[in-house]
Amino acid sequence: MIALVAGSYGLKALGISKVGGRIERRLGPAVTLLPAALFAALVVIMTFEDAGTLTLDARAAGVAAGAVAVWRKAPLILVVAVAMAVTAAVRALT
């Protein structure tokens, strides 16, 4: 993941030079998708990893509920509220 972050920032820095123009033509579509992929990876790591092990807890239920809300095309504020409510409910029950 650190390599992806470094590569993303490196390509942005190279964009100023002549070399960056050639690289951007070849890798442009991939570079535009990198921030979304990095954010998704961060969400997965923060949700399912605890001390180097796979953990399924209230956070996973909240992310799943938020994913369902996104799938149902709910507004962003509602997605966040649903995910928070489900996470809080699962934590209260356990």
Q: How much is the pLDDT for 85? A: 97
What burial letters (b/e) apply to 60-85, b meaning 16+ CB within 10 Å? ebbbebbeebeeeeeeeeebeebbee
pLDDT digits (tens, 9 = 90+) for 23-38: 667 777 777 787 888 8
pLDDT digits (tens, 9 = 90+) for 36-86: 888 888 888 888 888 888 888 898 999 999 999 999 999 999 999 999 999
Q: What separation, in Å, do the N-terminal and C-terminal C-alpha atoms of the chain show? A: 33
Q: What residues contact residue 35 under an 8 Å CB cut-off, 6+ apart?
A: 8
